[in-house]
Amino acid sequence: MGERTARMKTVLTPLLCREARALLDLDTAEVAFVARIPVAVLETFEAGHATPSETVLATLRRVFELGGVAFTPERSKRGVELRVCA
């Protein structure tokens, strides 16, 4: 539960979503395809016009984390970092 709780502390915001996507060098269509959501849902969220369901937010977060993104708004100016594989 400790790791899950730590992961859930940072809410996926439109800014963090854009930064994570940029860090992985993916466009909205690529992320939407992998997350299996409409591109318009992602674009609307990133623009700050609407917040998708918790399920969609969790899916987006999982996509980014599987790509190697660590959400670190408390440590990083961008709020995201690539995890270092040992």
What is 2-80's CATH number? 1.10.260.40
Indicate the domain borders of the chain.
2-80
**Which band of pLDDT confidence, cut at 50, 70 and 90, is reported for residue 9?**
low
pTM of the model: 0.84
Beta-bridge partner residues of 80? 71
Give yes or no for residue 84 having a pLDDT over 80: no
Query: Per-residue pLDDT tens for 16-41?
Result: 999 999 999 999 999 999 999 999 99
Three-state DSSP at 22 gives helix
CA count, 13 A, side-chain hemisphere, 58? 5
E strand spans, the chain: 69-71, 80-82
Q: pLDDT averaged over the chain? A: 89
d(CA 11, CA 15): 11
